[in-house]
Amino acid sequence: MAVQIQTVSQASEKPVPAPQPYLYGLKSSWPIAQDLTGSNAPCRLEGEIADLVVHGTVPSAIAGTFYRVMCDPFVPPHPNNIPLDGDGHISAFRFHDGRVDMKLRYIETERYLLERRANKALFGLYRNPFTHHPCVRAAVDSTANTNLVFWADKLLALKEGGLPYEVDPHTLDTKGYDPFGPQIKSKTFTAHPKVDPFTDELVVFGYEAKGLATRDIATYTLDKEGRKTNELWLQSPWCAAIHDSIITENWLVLVLWPFESNMERLRAKKQHWAWNYDLKATFIVVPRRQSTVLPNGWKIGETRFYEWKNCMNIHTAGGWEGQDGHIYLETTRVHDNAFPFFPPDDGRMPSPETKADFVRWKLDLTAPSGSVIPDPELILDMPCEFPRIDERFMTKQYNVVFLDVFLPDRSDSGKNIFHGLNGLAMHDHRTGKTRFFYAGDDSMVQEPIFIPRTKDAEEGDGWIVAMIERRLENRCDLVIIDTREFEKPVAIIHGNWIDAKDLKKVQG
């Protein structure tokens, strides 16, 4: 996903447009609709460029495509809509023979096509059909703008409020909605499904799975041919936002945010979500298979949930089963509401002093459902987001994690207007040491991906690729960092990674 998370102190401020005297006071039909890093200008471009300008050398061993998807409204959005609801727009960077080509295309969702044809916004607030124009209330309300995953020889464009769109990985043409067909009974599909590299399975869940504001959750697995197995339906403790999860060898853990939705709010034409300070950060533990060996006291088909305090665990790195029988998982954490555009019903804004960090949680599955879990272990005491691991080790205990971070000591606070993610971190659990790459003043790092140096390379040995916004220069650079010398890039070029050998399976 191409958007970033602001720190709460910055996000709680009202958006104020920069003075633009050269416009002579003329107004635009586009509202002030800042994204999560404060940008207020849509891209709205489609095209391709061959052999991009490169500073440095692109390692010839890198062969494949880096996909990025971003929120990019094609028409002026509803003035009260949120920054997460723009049309899905793909940037594909193809690496071959030390060169890089780029292609930009919109995902042609039903919503995008309807609004482009009308040349105006027809959809109102995020996931609230009561605010949409009556002519589109039966249309698929998905912008497919959150993540791209390659599975069963299909490139899936994902948004958690609907099912996937399939996109051609070569041309970026949109091929259709709901590519796995009637076997999928859930109305929704997570934007963060997890690949088990040891079993060749994609673990999926969908919340609000039977419709708006329902507590129903569907969990299941797709095999490498796209066939559904191991389906289990359950009920959430409340209608919660469930953005991310982790998988271990035998378990799926869903991470709930303390937002809630209900039909009364939706019918009143309010935002889909409202933060609730009385709700807790919650983890639902689900067996992945009917054959999963259950702890003492569990019944077949049972799930359990565990709570901490009110906070927002935004994204996960990974998880594993410890030798002590506990589940361990690592998340970024904000100690308050990180999305102030979904305030509580009383309108409270989060504290400007709110902390953010990266932590490890421990879940004791022998504890009864509803138990309070212990405080997490603090790993990085700094604002950070978008953790990624070497995904060859997904479901196992890993040693290396990569994250976007905010480095206040390296930032010129007089220039870095937005208190954003200006660096990357590489943390090694074995040594406890963290190495940093600093992107520069007025620069913001988007979500990184990791490419192994070889298929059997040591964990974390390879390259990090990430997009960097150069705010003052109004451009983005793609940086390649060798993990053996993490502090500086090997190449700068003016999403998710798919290896070239996997793309060859799909007719180009």
How much is the pLDDT for 3?
A: 35
More confident residue, 157 or 383: 157
> What distance in Å separates the CA atoms of residue 342 and residue 227, rounded to the nearest whole number?
36
For the segment 138-150, the average pLDDT, to the nearest whole number, is: 97
Residue of 334, 372, 332, 378 whose CA lies nearest to 356: 334
Cα-only R_g, the chain: 22
d(CA 18, CA 39): 11
Residue 441 pLDDT exceeds 70: yes
Amino acid letter at 64? G
Lowest model confidence (mean pLDDT) among 76-80, 216-220, 283-287, 495-499: 495-499
Closest Cα to residue 254, out of 344, 381, 126, 160? Answer: 160
Contact 238, 222 (CB under 8 A): no
Confidence at 40, pLDDT banded by 50, 70, 90: low
- 182: helix, strand or coil: helix
Q: What is the DSSP pairing of strand 496-499 with strand 165-167?
A: unpaired
Dihedral of alpha carbons 318, 321, 322, 328, sign: positive
41-45: average pLDDT: 81
pLDDT band at 32, cuts 50/70/90? low
Q: Which amino acid, residue 299? A: K
Report the mean per-residue pLDDT for the chain.
Answer: 90
Please write the tens of the pLDDT for every residue from 420-432: 789 999 999 999 9
- pLDDT interval class at 13 (50, 70, 90): very low
What residue has token string 């066939």?
227
Residue 224 three-state SS: coil
Percent of the chain's residues with pLDDT above 70:
89
Task: Pull the structure tokens for residue 26.
Answer: 């003329």
Ranges assigned E (strand) in 326-474: 327-334, 356-363, 377-380, 384-389, 400-405, 423-428, 434-438, 443-445, 449-452, 462-470
Q: What is the mean pLDDT of residues 327-353?
A: 93
Average pLDDT over residues 343-362: 92
Please determine, for residue 417, whether its predicted confidence score (pLDDT) is greater than 50: no
- Over residues 309-329, the mean pLDDT reads 97
For 311-335, b/e burial (b = at least 16 CB within 10 A) is: bbbbbbbbbbbeeeeebbbbbbbbb
